[in-house]
């Protein structure tokens, strides 16, 4: 299984600021996915990040609000820009393993005041 490390594990931020979340994987992976889990809710896909190309965003998510970098096959960042309390969520990074396997990081719990 892939080992996925996310930083920060949690943070409290002020409204209007931005926060960058890092995702590091212990093996090279083609695609990485970023999800959001709002309080008491299920997971919603934000975007798919391929190395060497722009991320593909799902409906309701835009690059200006959630810019993503994917500089190599083991690392990605997600920035939550100009935060508001509605952005308070857990943000999770996910990668594929063998056929059918999809693993998640521990998540980054963000609280916006």
Partner 1 sequence: GEDVEQSLFLSVREGDSSVINCTYTDSSSTYLYWYKQEPGAGLQLLTYIFSNMDMKQDQRLTVLLNKKDKHLSLRIADTQTGDSAIYFCAESRGSGNTPLVFGKGTRLSVIA
Site string for partner 1, 11-30 (x = CB under 8 A): -------------------x
Q: Which is nearer to partner 1, 17 or 28 (CB)?
A: 28
The reply to whether 45 sits near partner 1 by the rule CB under 8 A is yes
At its nearest, how many Å lie between partner 1 and the CB of residue 66?
Answer: 15
How many C-beta neighbours within 10 Å does residue 88 have? 17
Asked if 61 interacts with partner 1 (CB under 8 A), we say no
E strands, the chain, are 4-7, 10-13, 19-25, 31-37, 43-50, 56-57, 68-72, 75-80, 89-96, 102-104, 108-112
| Both tokens assigned to 58 | 């799902």
- If one asks whether residue 73 binds partner 1 (CB under 8 A), the answer comes out as no
């Amino acid at each position: 299984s892939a080992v996925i490390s996310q930083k920060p594990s949690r943070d409290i931020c002020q409204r209007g600021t931005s926060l960058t979340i890092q995702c590091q994987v212990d093996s090279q992976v083609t695609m990485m996915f970023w999800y959001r889990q709002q309080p008491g809710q299920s997971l919603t896909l934000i975007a798919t990040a391929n190395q060497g190309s722009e991320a593909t965003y799902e409906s309701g998510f835009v690059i200006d609000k959630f810019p993503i970098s994917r500089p190599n096959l083991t690392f990605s960042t997600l920035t939550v820009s100009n935060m508001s309390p509605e952005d308070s969520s857990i943000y999770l990074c996910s990668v594929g393993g063998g056929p059918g396997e999809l693993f998640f990081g521990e998540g980054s719990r963000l609280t916006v005041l």
